[in-house]
Amino acid sequence: MGRSRYTKMNRLFCIAAGQLHVKKIDHRINRQNRYLNYGLLSLTTKLSQDGWNPIQIQGDFDQPGITINKCIDYGLDNSLAPILISIPSFYAISWVNEFIHLVKNRKPETKFIIGGRWVIDGQVELMTKLVPQSDLIISGLADHSICKIVREFLSPSKAINLRETIELPFILPLDYSLLADRKLYQPSIEISRGCGMGCSFCQEKDERLSPLKEPNFIVQESKEIVLQDELREMHPYFETSIFVPNSRWIDNLIQSRESHGCDFHWRTEGRVDSINPKYIKQLKSSGLKILDLGLESASPNQLLRMNKSKAPKKYLERASTLLKAAHEEGIAIKVNVLLTSGETNQSIEETINWLDRHETFITGVSVGPVIVYGWPSRTKAYLDELREHGATVSHSHILGVTHLNLSNEIDYERSIDISNKIGRRYMSAESYFYLKSFSYYSRHYTYVNFKADIISSKHDYGFDISGIGS
């Protein structure tokens, strides 16, 4: 079997699994989100550099049949290669099974390679039962092995004459030309991996933080991916679990942007205790426009329980200084709040009172109760920890997703109601759209479209819609 069988006509399909289920309330507004699977795009890029002809197609919240039609347009019927599917969430499992079923009906001989680090989590046997029509399941990171995996899957004798896999930098530039409908997606630039800060709710709590990518590489990457067209401006999201910049790194980013003539705005996520407020002015000059700030709570007891800080008073003082500094420089702050085990009326009131005092400095608030993700054998210890603080299991409508009653005072339904009320208290529909459209909504989805969807689909939104349709 020679390489000729794997020509351009035999495209390698890399599918970012979509979802039939929505994490939050299922309505049109939430289904407009386009969460780029940049981890899969990294693998797709490596496959291209190894001599394959891949295309990445995002499932989003479309029905699997829509994604299959896109595959057909890109040559699915003529391809002999397996289909790679990345599963980013347990919510995507039903979508994956329906997608495989529909493809098998059309092309019974098609093989499927399944990945998804956080979902599979070493449980290959269990995942095989969950996705029974899969042919190979990969556990863990595949950054340095994906090309070898595909090659050996196709040809155990290694007769395919593809050049050997090249060892690339751990966080390589992503090739957005391999992404179908790329102009509709706001791009991501991965600048570091890991965290290691030990927060009880975080999947990366024990993973060592890697150094930030050098600014010159970031700017060079941005020149390749930021499109100048008729759609909404492109804003790279600097992907990192914890953003820990220093003055030298920020200055290098400013200088590199200037030398390359780049003026894009960007967004990232940070902890209260990872960003020094004295760097905010520099960060503004480097193009930072929106900061997602992981406050999580303003209740000292809750901060201790989730291992967010061992000194809650200093933590909240630091958060206050950071918010004020960002506001002075015109950087929008979206505050993330997590309702977790042991939550009471008093702890909620403490958080609301703190937010009230800082309302002027906040563009929006994202609020939700803690959800436990993972296989039952993997989550038992964490659930036991949450139970010690008064939480109990409410329900699990999808395997791998467990919803909680946070305490005797706040059950699951009330936690959702509280989350929405807090969101509406601090975030207008206009602010919500600004934050979402900057990074997540399709670049052709307008505020007019947004308002029309709200008017036609009334729900208990987590933002204030009082001015819509009046």
Instruction: Yes or no: say if 449 and 441 are a contact pair by the CB < 8 Å rule.
Output: no
Q: At 198, phi and psi to the nearest 5?
A: 85, 10
Which one is the CATH code of 186-456: 3.20.20, 3.40.50, 1.10.3470, 3.80.10? 3.20.20
Report H helices in 237-395: 247-260, 280-285, 300-305, 312-329, 345-357, 376-388
Residue 211 in this model has a pLDDT that exceeds 90 = no
Strands 401-405 and 266-271: unpaired
Helix, strand, coil percent values for the chain (each to nearest 5): 40, 15, 40
Q: Sign of the CA dihedral 244, 374, 88, 43? A: positive
**Residue reference for tokens 């997606």:** 185
Model confidence at 197, pLDDT cuts 50, 70, 90, reads low
Q: What is the dihedral of CA 258, 263, 268, 273, to 10 degrees?
A: 40
- The Cα 167–Cα 49 span in angstroms is 11
What residues does CATH 3.20.20 cover in the chain? 186-456
pTM of the model: 0.90
Q: What is the pLDDT of residues 348-392, one digit of tens each?
A: 999 999 999 999 999 999 999 999 999 999 999 999 999 999 999
pLDDT score, position 382? 94
Helix (H, G, I), strand (E, B) or coil at 266: strand
Q: For residue 31, name the pLDDT band (cuts at 50, 70, 90).
A: confident
Ranges of CATH 3.40.50.280 domains, the chain: 3-154
How far apart are the C-alpha atoms of 322 and 50, rounded to whole Å?
A: 45
Q: What's the rounded mean pLDDT across residues 121-143?
A: 91
Can you tell me the distance from the alpha carbon of 300 to that of 294, in angstroms, rounded to the nearest whole number?
15
Q: What is the mean pLDDT of the chain?
A: 90
**Rounded Cα–Cα distance for residues 400 and 318 (Å):** 36
Report which DSSP code applies to 178. Answer: G
d(CA 173, CA 49): 12
Tokens 């269990």 appear where? 126
Tokens read off for 358: 């800082």
> Within a 10 A sphere around the Cβ of 261, how many other Cβ atoms?
8
Residue 333 scores a pLDDT above 50: yes
Q: The domain 3-154 belongs to what CATH superfamily?
A: Cobalamin-binding domain (3.40.50.280)
